[in-house]
Amino acid sequence: MLEAKLAMKTQPGHQTVVHLSEQVAIGGDLLVVIGGPCSVEGVDQMEQVARSLSAIAVTALRGGVYKPRTSPYSFQGMGIDGLRILASLREQYGMPVVTEVMAIAQIEPACAYADMLQIGSRNMQNFELLKAVGQADKPVLLKRGLAATVEEFVMAAEYILAHGNPNVVLCERGIRSFDTFTRNVLDLGAVIGLKQLTHLPVIVDPSHAAGKRELVPNLAKAAIAAGADGLIIECHPVPEQSVSDARQALSLEAMAELMISLEPIAASVGRSLGDSGNVSEAFHRTPGGDRTVIPMAMSV
């Protein structure tokens, strides 16, 4: 750990705040929730997602346009067309955009349209890619590798910092285990440890950790209680029809219910969801002003 001289805390109160826009920052008093589908599938899908999430205090929009898939025959993403869709929604709804890059050649187009570059778990130790995003003028969301130790994770972040980019956010997304009940094992001990060891913001991805949508809300609450600076959560207008990771995606209704349920957890650890006091009103009120009730069965 001592080699990570740029990532390590120099004093107890040392904390970096990473700005995605003038209004959105990760690492401060406000908890940031990044939401959206695994893959950008089209304009209508993303418009529905952005419109719903912007009304419930979700602060940033995620969507994959370059997709690392286990099978070479699976959907690989919309590429530049997907980036244009994300950028247009950012302008329309004022939500910063987070998207993954898998290769050095993808960095330049992603920087032209997105506000934050994600390095996925499979590329956590792709050192040439880490060096390249270290030279990019965009914040980086670095996900923990499938079986990476905390030290390896921190040293991967050090690569980005050492190449000139100070705006790195760490993301715990679960590590591989012998158990198949969950997709991965969410390591909240690592979240606590990273907050003590480093000055970098730490967020949690309960979607990839769980692999099952019914487990996501409670894991999200646990992450906030453990001190995470935010969450990144997969949601989709019709989760069962998602072209990737359908089993773990929340419906937009369930996402709204989750945001409401996070409010007391955030308050208990001295954090805030920003305008989340209006989440319940924003979601439950129809455009005509009448209130509607969300069936609880829709939230799983």
| Residue 253 is assigned to a structural domain of this protein | yes
| Residue 177 is assigned to a structural domain of this protein | yes
Q: Are 237 and 255 in contact (CB under 8 A)?
A: no
Alpha helices by DSSP H, listed for 13-166, are 43-54, 80-93, 104-113, 127-134, 150-162
> Quick check: helix, strand or coil at residue 172?
strand
pLDDT per position as a tens digit, 61-111: 999 999 877 788 888 789 999 999 999 999 999 999 999 999 999 999 999
| Residue 3 is assigned to a structural domain of this protein | no
Residue 136 structure tokens:
């990019």
| Residue 230 is assigned to a structural domain of this protein | yes
CA distances for 240 relative to 28, 34, 224, 243, 254, angstroms: 35, 21, 27, 9, 14
pLDDT per position as a tens digit, 262-294: 999 999 999 999 764 455 554 444 333 333 333
CATH of the domain at 228: 3.20.20.70
pLDDT per position as a tens digit, 6-48: 999 999 889 999 999 999 999 999 999 999 999 999 999 999 9
Residue 148 structure tokens:
């990476």
| Residue 107 is assigned to a structural domain of this protein | yes
Residue 174 is part of which domain span?
Answer: 32-287+294-299
| Residue 17 is assigned to a structural domain of this protein | no
Listed in sequence order, the residues at least 6 apart from 70 whose beta carbon sits closer than 8 Å to its beta carbon are none
> Quick check: helix, strand or coil at residue 143?
strand
Angle at 98 between CA 133 and CA 244, to 5 degrees: 110
> Quick check: helix, strand or coil at residue 181?
coil
Report the number of distinct structural domains present in the chain.
Answer: 1
Q: What pTM did the predictor assign?
A: 0.90
Residue 216 structure tokens:
């996501």
Whose tokens are 């995606």? That residue is 249
Q: How confident is the model at residue 2 (pLDDT cuts 50, 70, 90)?
A: low
| Residue 23 is assigned to a structural domain of this protein | no
